[in-house]
Amino acid sequence: MTDWRLGALAESLGVELRGDPERPIVGLQSLRDAGPEHLSFLANTRYTEALRQSCAGAVLLRPSDLALWSGDALLSDNPYAAYARASHLFDCRPPRPPGCHASAVIAADVVIGAGVHIGAQVVIGAGAVIADACVIEAGCVIGENCHLGPAVHLAPRVVLYPEVRLGARVRIQSGSVLGGDGFGFAHTGRGWQRIAQLGRVVVGDDVDIGANTCIDRGALGDTVLEEGVIIDNQVQIAHNVHIGAHTAIAACVGISGSTRIGRHCVLAGGVGLVGHIEIADGVHITGMSMITKSISAPGSYSSGTAFEPSRQWKKTAVRLRQLESMAERLRRLEAQVSELQTTAPK
């Protein structure tokens, strides 16, 4: 645990203190689980009742919510962002010390900057460049001519195929693979001819990539992630996809080849996008939606149907199968009504 006084914590976070500046804070906790030694936060009014019952020593909340809490408080217009900053102050995991493990296999011409940590059984191919303060944990494979910017952090077992480019402060979680071949095949009439994938993967600064995510290299040009993109676990990004800055992509999203996604978009869990479409800046796509054509205006978009009790869903499914016959009956009835109106006496 890292011990703080509430006043010093408020100063470090740049928020307003209401309460005892000498109150000791040893960690962060949820409203439900916090004790008198913990800092908690209220970012969603759905948790107002949990706030009333909380035993937290102090709470991060909006000034407009201060009346809901009688204890010590830290006031912020964005308490969740303040909590995110605070989380780093209580992160007690020790930093990786500079140095190279004896079992690492590194080509003779690799350029390695100052303060780099290289873990056990790491493999780095010829022509790679590793900038200052990078952390490359155990079992990572970095292919030929890869470039890693300053303070990149690769968790164990990340694989970078040749020619991958990572900007500064990129973080990639375990099991992710960048730069593998895209799913490119031409049908010959009797089978499939593989298409050589000649592009790269290029990742901007401050990108965060979750575990077991795959980002394919471009077929001709590059697959590009601009700065500040955040990607959850188990996401598939196909060849020649271009993702705009600060877009967020949740788990199990699949993006087909040559799709362009704008800046500041949000793709919720399980979203699928067909290839060769464009998504405008500022688009929010809700969970499990399937996007089959381009979206040219910002806003929220959905597809599919909401869940309901199984008995009701079975009835709905039957109705869906009857839609075509019902539409045909409606067309016939409309035609009959039109004929009656035409032949009716004036």
Give catalytic residue positions.
239
Q: Is the dihedral of CA 93, 99, 104, 106 positive or negative?
A: positive
Residue 75: both structure tokens together: 């006031």
Residues 6+ apart with CB under 8 A from 125: 107, 110, 142, 143, 144, 145, 146, 162
Task: Put residue 179 in one of left, alpha, beta given phi > 0 → left and psi -120 to 50 → alpha.
Answer: left
Which residue is it, tokens 């969970």?
A: 287
Which residue is it, tokens 């914590």?
A: 9
Our CA dihedral for 253, 258, 264, 265, rounded to 10 degrees, sits at -40
Q: Which helix (H) or strand (E) holds 189?
A: none
Contact (Cβ atoms closer than 8 angstroms) between residue 99 and residue 80:
no
Note every long-range contact of 307-315, with CB atoms under 8 Å and residues 24 or more positions apart, other chains counting. Answer: none
C-alpha of 208 from chain center: 7
- Edge-to-edge, what's the strand order for the sheet holding 58-61? 16-18, 72-75, 58-61, 38-41, 27-28
Which residue is it, tokens 């099991």?
A: 175
> Can you tell me whether residue 218 is helix, strand or coil?
coil
CA neighbours closer than 13 Å in the CB half-sphere of residue 211: 4
Task: Put residue 91 in one of left, alpha, beta given phi > 0 → left and psi -120 to 50 → alpha.
Answer: beta
> Can you tell me whether residue 99 is helix, strand or coil?
strand
Q: Is the dihedral of CA 266, 270, 276, 277 positive or negative?
A: negative
> What phi and psi values does residue 17 have, to the nearest 5 degrees?
-95, 135
Of 11, 59, 12, the closest CA to residue 35 belongs to: 59
